[in-house]
Structures are given as structure tokens and as C-alpha cells.
């Protein structure tokens, strides 16, 4: 028999098994579909609001660690629910369990009335407003900031301009150099006429989501369903899959002007690294970041490759800089078992070594 030939009997058996699993999956999807919308989330309270932007404070679940509060800043292009996907897949709950006082800024869902919001509005308006609310509540001069993905870039800009309010800065899967050769997203947007896109109003979240999927179309659009069928349709596995799917395709609109400025200034002109970015008439210089910095990056990230994050070390002004690689992909940084076992503990330990900074 040809060593490379397919055994018809084994092929038929595999097809039958796959078909049975697919049938089980469809039943499980129908049963679990309604439940995921009400999936339990960590308890939190709204403590501040400005327009559609809301600041949440999570309720403590462990004895306080005695550290300054931690403000989490996520991207605008996706909802922050990925940070608390499920009780056993939650960066937020892990940080709470370690005794941190956790806040989250939720950018909300922009609509046509937000079309002209600018980059500086998010830094000097919303983010600074949330920070000042936390500082006033606790009667302190500075807090700890955790910026994630696009939210990490916003956090870098904020810290450079408002360094008095930030004690320690943690960045996670954060783009800094937007022009590295292996940055597929940067290459994709290089020739996009963002002025024309913004002229037509807010940019649809679905357009942006399609761009991310296009970076790895088979893996992100087809293979995941094959993997789910092969893994077996247990209720827990299906519920987890549905929560992830809901997060992936729940992409809010981006305000037209913010989108235009962010993509043009950073992805196309790389102003953050070049030192030519200005917000509100002030120059944003990474050299002005003198606080301790922990930069966590994913070694298998196709959206923010390590080459886009690691240059931070050469541009910040701090002498206390730590780079932490995690052997996962971009989304794996939020939900994988490997990240769960390493990242929250590393963040807490790093902050605990710098409590009075």
C-alpha cells in the first residue's frame, strides 16, 4: 500500500466521528445560546461617567494588598469584556483575588454625536477625568495604570503628559513602533485613505473586525469551528466558545476623527516613536515617562508583534524597565491557561516591589 495513501476505513470513521460531534455541537449551541448573554461577571459599581464613558470600580474579593488602586485601560476597538470572560478566565478576577483595588474605564459605544471626538479628547478629557476621580476618592497623588493593546498606547500618551498622576505603568500587548516589517496590520493600513473613511462618519466596528480576521483568515474564520467540533461539545466548552464569539464580533464604532488621527498619526506616520506626536498643543515624548514600566508582550502575537512592543525600552526615560514575554498569541494573553498562571501574579509581584513609587 502506498505509504502516503489514505485508508478509506479510517477516513470514513473520522468523518463519522466529526459528523456526530457537529450534530452534538449544534444542539449544545441552541441550548447555550440564550445563557451567554447573561453570563455572570465580576461585581462592580459605576463610580463616574462622562458622556458615554464610564468608570467602574470592582468589588473586593480578598484582603487588600495595601497597594494604590489599579486603573485598567482597554482598547476602543473591542469591548473590555474579554478581561472578565468567565469566572475561570478573568484577568480582572485574578487581580482582585490578589488584593488589588481594580478600576476599569469603559469607552462605551460611540454614535454619530461623537463623530468629532479627537485623540486628545480621550487622553486629556475622559482618561484624565477618570484618573482624577480615583485620586480624589482615595486622597492620593498617583495610581497604577495598566494599559492593554490600543489602551496601552493611550496609557503611554497619558503618562507622558500627566506623569504626576501615574506611579507605575504596566503595558500589555501594546504597539509602540507601528512600522516594523512584520506588523501585518500596519502594512494593511499603509495605503488606506483614512481621511476619506473619516469623511463618511464613524468607522464601523465590523469593518475593523474584518480587517483583523483578514490577517489570519483560515485560523480566525474557519479553523476555530473545526477545532470546537473536534474538541467535543461539552456545555462548558460551548458556553466559553460563545462568549468568545460574542466578544470578537462586538466591535463598537470608532469616532471618525479619533480613528483618522490614530491611524494616520501612528500607523501611517509612526509619530510616537519619531517624537512628533502632539496632543492638545503639547508634545508627547516617551522620554518623559520616568515611572517604573513593566512591558508584557505575547511572543506569538500577529496583531501586535513583539517587534512593535519591545522598542519601548529604547524610548522611555525610566531606568526601571522590565520586559516580560509570554508564549501566547494576542487573545491568548487574556484567556489562555498559560497567561492566567503567569501574568496576574507577575503584575502583582512587580507592583508590590514598588509600592511607594
Task: Report the side by side order of strands in the sheet with 143-148.
Answer: 44-50, 53-58, 102-106, 70-73, 143-148, 166-172, 293-298, 321-326
Element (H, E) at 235: helix 235-248
- Torsion region of 115: left, alpha or beta (phi above 0 gives left; psi -120 to 50 gives alpha): alpha
Q: Are 189 and 266 in contact (CB under 8 A)?
A: no
CB neighbour class for 181 (10 Å; exposed up to 12, middle 13-18, buried from 19): exposed
Ordered DSSP codes for 11-69? HHHHHHHHHHHHHHHHHHHHHHHHHHTT-----EEEEEEETTEEEEEEPP-S---S---
C-alpha 299/C-alpha 338 separation (Å) is 12
Domains and CATH numbers, the chain: 40-204+251-352 (3.40.50.1820)
- Which are the contacts of 131, defined by CB distance < 8 A and separation ≥ 6? 71, 143, 145, 158, 162, 165, 166
Instruction: Indicate the pTM of the whole model.
Output: 0.84
Q: How many CB atoms sit inside 10 A of residue 24's CB?
A: 15
Active site residue 149: yes
Q: What does the block give as the cell for 96?
A: 482582585
Active-site residue (options: 149, 157, 170, 238): 149
* Short-list 75, 77, 90, CA closest to 335: 90
- In this structure, what C-alpha cell is assigned to residue 52? 458615554
Q: What is the pLDDT of residue 220?
A: 45
> pLDDT truncated to tens, each residue of the chain (357 aa)?
455 554 555 644 554 454 455 445 445 444 544 444 445 789 999 999 999 999 999 999 999 999 999 999 999 988 999 999 888 889 999 999 999 999 999 999 999 999 999 999 999 999 999 999 999 999 999 999 999 999 999 999 999 999 999 999 999 999 999 999 887 777 777 878 889 989 989 998 777 666 655 555 444 444 444 454 455 556 666 677 777 777 777 889 999 999 999 999 999 999 999 999 999 999 999 999 999 999 999 999 988 999 999 999 999 999 999 999 999 998 889 888 899 989 999 999 999 999 865
Q: What is the sign, positive or negative, of the torsion defined by CA atoms of 292, 299, 183, 247? A: negative
Amino acid at each position: 500500500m502506498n505509504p502516503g495513501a489514505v485508508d478509506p476505513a479510517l477516513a470514513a470513521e473520522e468523518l463519522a466521528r466529526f459528523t456526530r460531534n457537529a450534530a452534538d455541537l449544534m444542539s449544545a449551541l441552541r441550548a447555550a445560546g440564550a445563557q451567554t448573554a447573561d453570563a455572570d461577571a465580576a461585581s462592580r459599581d459605576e463610580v463616574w461617567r462622562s458622556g458615554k464613558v464610564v468608570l467602574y470600580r470592582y468589588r473586593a474579593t480578598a484582603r487588600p494588598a495595601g497597594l494604590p488602586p489599579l486603573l485598567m485601560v482597554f482598547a476602543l476597538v473591542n469591548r473590555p469584556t474579554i478581561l472578565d470572560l468567565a469566572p475561570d478566565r478573568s484577568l480582572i478576577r485574578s487581580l482582585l483575588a490578589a488584593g488589588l483595588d481594580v478600576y476599569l474605564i469603559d469607552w462605551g459605544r460611540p454614535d454619530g454625536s461623537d463623530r468629532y471626538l479627537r485623540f486628545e479628547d480621550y487622553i486629556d478629557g475622559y482618561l484624565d477625568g477618570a484618573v482624577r476621580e480615583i485620586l480624589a476618592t482615595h486622597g492620593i497623588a498617583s495610581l497604577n495604570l495598566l494599559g492593554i493593546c490600543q489602551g496601552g498606547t493611550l496609557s503611554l500618551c497619558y503618562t507622558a503628559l500627566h506623569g504626576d498622576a501615574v506611579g507605575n505603568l504596566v503595558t500589555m500587548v501594546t504597539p509602540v513602533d507601528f512600522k516594523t516589517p512584520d506588523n501585518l496590520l500596519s502594512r494593511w493600513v499603509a495605503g488606506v485613505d483614512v481621511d476619506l473613511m473619516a469623511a463618511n462618519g464613524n468607522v464601523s466596528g465590523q469593518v475593523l473586525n474584518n480587517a483583523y480576521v483578514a490577517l489570519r483568515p483560515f485560523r480566525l474564520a474557519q479553523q476555530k469551528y473545526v477545532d470546537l467540533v473536534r474538541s467535543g461539545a461539552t456545555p462548558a466548552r460551548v458556553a466559553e466558545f460563545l462568549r468568545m464569539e460574542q466578544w470578537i464580533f462586538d466591535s463598537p464604532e470608532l469616532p471618525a476623527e479619533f480613528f483618522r488621527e490614530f491611524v494616520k498619526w501612528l500607523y501611517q506616520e509612526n509619530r510616537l516613536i519619531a517624537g512628533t506626536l502632539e496632543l492638545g498643543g503639547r508634545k508627547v515624548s516617551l522620554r518623559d515617562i520616568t515611572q517604573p514600566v513593566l512591558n508584557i508582550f505575547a511572543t506569538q502575537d500577529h496583531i501586535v508583534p513583539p517587534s512593535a512592543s519591545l522598542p519601548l525600552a529604547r524610548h522611555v526615560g525610566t531606568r526601571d524597565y522590565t520586559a516580560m514575554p509570554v508564549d501566547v498569541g494576542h487573545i491568548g494573553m487574556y484567556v489562555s491557561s498559560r497567561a492566567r498562571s503567569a501574568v496576574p501574579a507577575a503584575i502583582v509581584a512587580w507592583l508590590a516591589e514598588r509600592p511607594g513609587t
